Structure formats: C-alpha cells, structure tokens
C-alpha cells in the first residue's frame, strides 16, 4: 500500500456547513488524509498581520496563519486544499490570495473550492485525485516522451476517444459519441487499432481517463486510471511542445470546464467548474442543432459572424437558448448567432473560472471545443492573447493517457 498523501486543509465554514465529512470521504477515496496544520493561537494574530490582509473572520485569519506556516516549512504537507463557503466575498478574497501565495512561494500543489451544504464527496473526488497524483506521481508526470506501443482511452461525457502511440508518434485514433460507456470504448479502440494496423495484443500499456475511466480501466486492465486534470495538462504541453516553463490549459468540455496552470508539465493550480451547461460545450452543441449545422461547421460559421450584433448571455442554458431563439426570430444571421454563442460561452468561462487561476502564456486550448474556431477566437479576444490549439487537441485526454501509460512498460 502506498503512503498516504497528507493534504493540509485551510478552510472557513466546512464544519458548520455540514460538509467536512464529505472532504474526509473524498480524500479517503484517493488514499489521502486531510489534516489541519497545528498552530498556536498567538500565531494567528501574527500570521495575518504579516500577510497584510486584515479580514474580519477569525477562521480566515487562521487559514492565513496556517498558509504561512506551510510556506515557511514549519508544517510538513504534500498538498493543500483551500475551502470556503460559496457566496462569501471575504472568503473569496482570502481563497484567491492564499492560492496565489502558496503557488508562488512553495512547490505544494494547491486546489481551492467554494462549497455549499450540497457539496458531496463525489464532486470533490476529481480535485482530490489530481492533488494526490501531483504529490504522489511527480516522477511519472515528468515523462516527456512516449515509448513502446501504448493506448489512451478518454471516456468523456459527450464523446469517447482513443489514441494509439508508438515510439513518440500518434499512429491511430478513434472518436465516437458516448452512448453506452463500454460499447463506445470498444468502438474507438477498434477504430484506433484499424488505423494503426495493430492488434490489441500489441499494446504494451493502457491509460484511461474521463468520467468512465474506472469502468473502462477495469475492462481493459489499464495500468493507469487517471482523472483528466493531470492527464489533459500533460497531453496539452506535450502536443503544443511546451513541456518546459509555464502555460495555461483551458478545456471547455461537454459537461464541465477545466482551467489549469502548468509549470514544466505539472499542474499547479486548477479550477474545475460546470454549474450550468450554458458555460460548456453542450450549449454550443445545442446552438449547432438549432442552426441546422453539424457541430464541426459551427466554428467556421462563427468566424464569419459579428457577435456584438446579438445580445446573448448563456449564464443559464435555458436563458441562453431563449436569446438564441429570439435572435433568430428577429432576423439575425446564423453567422452572427453562432459568433454570439461562442462569445457567450467564452465569456462565462472567463468570468466564472479564469478569474481563479493566474493566466500564464501560452494559453493552450484543448478538447473537442478547441476545434470550434469561433470559440477559440472569442477566448483569445477576452484574454488578449493568441491561443495555441495543438494538433490532435480533441484527443488530449487520450494522448496524455497514452504518454503517461508508457511509464508503466518498464514499471516506473
């Protein structure tokens, strides 16, 4: 059994919100333990005075003092989890500043979350898994080249993808909409094998990721079953050839979105969101359907349109759809509506998630939605930077899995 990863919790409100047990449960699922840095009452006063953020809530002052103790090495930890109540402005400021402070002044992986009483261990699982992976598998994540013949399978909420890699080259791909998880996986594996001209027995190691990773991992006896935050960031910097230095990875998925800052291929801070489908690829799928075009045609259509001419706010998918229908009824062109939909999704991601990570260039967009040029353009305009979309960006999870899985061929 591996040694437990020790996650230091800096928080305000989880006990009185009734979610502390959920945090413990999520950590236990990934063989980690949550602990509270032991500090003296006197340190609380000193800690926040030195930090310079004079908040009113004593528990937030306690979180600041604990963060200082971690950064200064007075307390040992493998990772940090910051959690505060959703809708508390004071806590949001502290959460943000502490995440930045720890990221800039230590090598500790850190993730933050704002909870409600409805937060469950399932919601926290992917975040905890990513935290423990970074802490536990630094050596594996340092891998920069794929070796041997490996396969990566990404079972996403909308689509299932497979990639076969051989000697650092992609030799086969498969892509299908996700229907039945296992059936879709079997389909993409077959497609990838056909394209690669290989038999299943030739595959030396397999990695799985995405929502169906456990089920598929079990069926195919995968050596690596890994959440998509670490896998996608690894795949992104590998495909974009930015394995050294800093980068930001944005993945607007079918069900949730990820924004990850990466340093030398290893995730530093990340956010994962998806409260409403209005800020996800799902809204763009709906838009394409309403406009009568295939999703692959939405991007080129949007590139011809002017988003400013159509008011659209997809904060909520229902209202977003309403704006879409109204705009078409008022005679707006399909091009303008497509552009407005892309802009709206980019804006939601920008407002809801990208404020929580420090954007470091280059910004790499990955996942199926990165092929929608209109969305990439809108994101670039909002971030005022040129977005990098690497080749095979829609296969990012599979490529990351195949790359990391090759570490298991020789038992790393």
Partner 1 sequence: MVKVFIYPATSLILSDMVARFGHEPLGSAIGIRERIQTPGIESPPLQITPEEPKKGLKWAAVEVPSGVRGRMAVYGPLIEEAEAAIIIRDPDYAFGCMGCARTNELIQFHLRHKEIPLLDLAYPTSDEEGVGFVAAIKEFLTGLKTEGSA
Q: Which residues form the interface with partner 1 (CB under 8 A)?
A: 9, 11-21, 36, 38-41, 44-45, 55-59, 62, 84-88, 90-91, 115-118
User: Among 211, 86, 222, 200, which residue's Cα sits nearest to residue 152?
Assistant: 222
Choice between 59 and 186, CB closer to partner 1: 59
Q: Across the beta sheet with 79-85, what order do the strands follow?
A: 32-35, 5-12, 79-85, 110-115, 266-273, 257-263, 246-252, 363-366, 387-388
- SS3 (DSSP) at 156: coil
User: Do 159 and 254 touch, CB atoms closer than 8 A?
Assistant: yes
Q: Compute the chain's Rg from CA coordinates.
A: 22
User: Do 278 and 320 touch, CB atoms closer than 8 A?
Assistant: yes
Whole-number minimum distance, CB 77 to partner 1, in Å?
14
Choice between 127 and 213, CB closer to partner 1: 127
Whole-number minimum distance, CB 10 to partner 1, in Å?
9
Choice between 21 and 138, CB closer to partner 1: 21
User: Do 70 and 108 touch, CB atoms closer than 8 A?
Assistant: yes
Listing DSSP states for 92-150 in one string gives HHHHHHHHHHHHHH----EEEEEE-TT--HHHHHHHHHHHHHHHH-HHHHT--S--SEE
Choice between 49 and 326, CB closer to partner 1: 49
Choice between 84 and 133, CB closer to partner 1: 84
Whole-number minimum distance, CB 21 to partner 1, in Å?
7
What six digits make up the tokens of 324?
């879409």
Whole-number minimum distance, CB 82 to partner 1, in Å?
12
What six digits make up the tokens of 187?
């389909």
User: Do 69 and 75 touch, CB atoms closer than 8 A?
Assistant: yes
Whole-number minimum distance, CB 47 to partner 1, in Å?
11
Whole-number minimum distance, CB 115 to partner 1, in Å?
7
Three-class DSSP labels, 267-286: EEEEEEECCCHHHCHHHHHH
Choice between 62 and 279, CB closer to partner 1: 62
Choice between 18 and 391, CB closer to partner 1: 18
The CA distance from 260 to 216, in Å, is 25
Whole-number minimum distance, CB 320 to partner 1, in Å?
22
User: Do 149 and 157 touch, CB atoms closer than 8 A?
Assistant: no
User: Do 67 and 48 touch, CB atoms closer than 8 A?
Assistant: no
Choice between 23 and 405, CB closer to partner 1: 23
Whole-number minimum distance, CB 369 to partner 1, in Å?
31
What six digits make up the tokens of 346?
């980019």
Choice between 69 and 357, CB closer to partner 1: 69
Whole-number minimum distance, CB 348 to partner 1, in Å?
20
């Amino acid at each position: 059994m591996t040694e437990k990863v020790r996650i230091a919790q800096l928080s305000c409100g989880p006990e009185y919100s009734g979610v502390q047990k959920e945090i413990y449960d999520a950590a236990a699922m990934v063989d980690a333990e949550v602990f509270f840095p032991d500090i003296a009452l006197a340190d609380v006063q000193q800690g926040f005075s030195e930090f310079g953020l004079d908040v009113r809530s004593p528990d937030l002052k306690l979180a600041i003092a604990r963060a200082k103790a971690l950064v200064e090495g007075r307390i040992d930890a493998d990772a940090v989890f910051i959690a505060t109540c959703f809708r508390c402005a004071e806590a949001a400021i502290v959460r943000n500043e502490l995440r930045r402070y720890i990221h800039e002044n230590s090598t500790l992986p850190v993730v933050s979350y704002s909870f409600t009483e409805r937060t469950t261990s399932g919601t926290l699982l992917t975040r905890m898994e990513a935290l423990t992976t970074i802490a536990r598998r630094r050596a594996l994540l340092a891998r920069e080249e794929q070796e041997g013949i490996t396969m990566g399978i990404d079972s996403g909420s909308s689509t299932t993808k497979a990639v076969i890699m051989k000697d650092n080259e992609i030799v086969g791909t498969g892509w299908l909409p996700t229907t039945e998880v296992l059936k879709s996986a079997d389909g993409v594996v077959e497609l990838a094998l056909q394209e690669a001209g290989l038999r299943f027995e030739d595959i030396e190691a397999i990695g799985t990721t995405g929502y169906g990773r456990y089920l598929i991992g079990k069926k195919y006896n995968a050596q690596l079953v890994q959440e998509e935050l670490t896998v996608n960031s690894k795949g992104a910097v590998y495909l974009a050839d930015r394995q050294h230095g800093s980068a930001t990875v944005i993945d607007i998925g079918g069900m949730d979105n990820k924004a990850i800052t990466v340093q030398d291929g290893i995730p530093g801070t990340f956010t994962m969101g998806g409260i409403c489908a209005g800020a996800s690829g799902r809204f763009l799928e709906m838009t394409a359907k309403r406009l009568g075009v295939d999703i692959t045609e939405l991007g080129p259509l949007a590139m011809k349109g002017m988003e400013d001419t159509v008011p659209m706010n997809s904060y909520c998918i229902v209202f977003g759809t309403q704006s879409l229908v109204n705009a078409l009824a008022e005679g707006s062109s399909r091009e303008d509506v497509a552009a407005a939909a892309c802009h709206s999704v980019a804006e939601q991601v920008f407002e809801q998630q990208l404020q929580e990570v420090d954007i470091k260039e280059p910004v790499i967009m990955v996942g199926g939605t990165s092929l929608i040029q209109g969305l990439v353009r809108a994101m670039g305009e909002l971030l005022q930077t040129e977005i990098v979309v690497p080749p095979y960006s829609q296969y990012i999870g599979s490529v990351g899995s195949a790359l990391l899985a090759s570490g298991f061929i020789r038992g790393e």
